[in-house]
Every structure is written in C-alpha cells, then in structure tokens.
Amino acid sequence: MFSMGPWQLLIILAIILLLFGGRGRIPQLMKDMGTGINAFRKGLKDEDKGKDDEAKTETLEAKDEAPAARSSESDTDKTA
C-alpha cells in the first residue's frame, strides 16, 4: 500500500537533519535571509536615489545652458 524508496527516505532524513540537527540552524538561516533582504532593499533605495540625483543634475545643467544659448542667439540677431 505505502512503500518508501531510498530516495524518499534520504529526503525525509535531510529535512529532519536540517530542522533538528545542529544547534540554532533555523534561526541562523532566518537571520541570514533577513540580512540579505535588508541589503537588497537598501541597494534598491540607493539606486533610486542615484537616479534621482542624476535627473536633478541633468535638469540643472539644461537650465544653465538654456540662457547661454538664448543670449548667443539674440546677439546674432542684433548683428544681422
């Protein structure tokens, strides 16, 4: 009716060893996983902040260049 092969037994033993074998394995695994998630979130925030800073810099540069371009165009119109 219900027979288990050697692979099924190995999988069950591995799960039992993972859960109960060794002192504090699961808390350590969860701590490492939480640390990884926090680092990932921080990386996303830093990346977004960097993109925002680049966009602001490009906008400021475009604003600084625009008056200079207009003044040079108006100078050529006056001379013509």
The whole domain housing 45 covers 24-79
Residue 53 lies in a domain: yes
E strands, 1-80, in order = none
Q: What is the pLDDT of residue 22?
A: 64
73 pLDDT tier (thresholds 50, 70, 90): low
Residue 14 lies in a domain: no
Residue 2 lies in a domain: no
Residue 29 lies in a domain: yes
> What tens digit of pLDDT does each residue of 38-52 get?
999 999 888 877 777
> What tens digit of pLDDT does each residue of 5-33 get?
999 999 998 888 877 776 777 778 889 99
Residue 10 lies in a domain: no
Total count of domains within the chain: 1
Residue 55 lies in a domain: yes
Q: How far apart are CA 50 and CA 41, in angstroms?
A: 14
19 within 8 A of 26, measured Cβ to Cβ: yes
Residue type, 53: D
Give 49 or 78, the one with higher predicted confidence.
49
